[in-house]
Amino acid sequence: MTITLEQGEPTVEGLCKLVFAEDLTIYAIEALKEGLAAHLVGYESFELNLAQVEEMDSAGVQLLLAFKSELMREKKQLRLTHMSPVVTQLLASYGLSERFNTGDHNE
C-alpha cells in the first residue's frame, strides 16, 4: 500500500498519522486517493508525513488540495509534516505554502 499508518508514535485520540511511501504524481494518484479515502472515517484530524515523496507533479498538488477541501467540508483538520524538499519547493512555486498547516517536527 502506498499510504500507511505511522507506527511507533504515541497515539492521540482522533488523530490519524499517515505516511506517503509513494511519489505524488499522476501515475500514483488513483491509489493514493483510495488510500486516503480508506482512512477518512473515524478521525477528526490528519497528519500526512511527506518525507518519502521524491517526485510530485500538479496531480499531487490537486490531490492535496482536494483532500484539504474535503476535510474542511467535514470540519476536520489537516497538517503536512516532514515535507521533502520536492514537496516544499512545489507548494511554494504554486504559491500554496500558506494554504496548508505545515510542521516539520519529530515528536
Coarse DSSP helix, strand, coil percentages of the chain, rounded to the nearest 5 percent: 35, 20, 40
Tell me the domain boundaries of the chain: 15-103
Give this prediction's pTM: 0.88
What is the pLDDT, as a whole number, of residue 107? 37
**CATH level 2 (architecture), domain 15-103:** 2-Layer Sandwich (3.30)
User: For the chain, give me the number of helices (H) and strands (E)?
Assistant: 3, 5
Q: How far apart are CA 36 and CA 43, in angstroms?
A: 12
pLDDT in tens, 48-105: 999 999 999 999 999 999 999 999 999 999 999 999 999 999 999 999 999 998 865 4
What is the pLDDT, as a whole number, of residue 10? 64
What is the pLDDT, as a whole number, of residue 105? 45
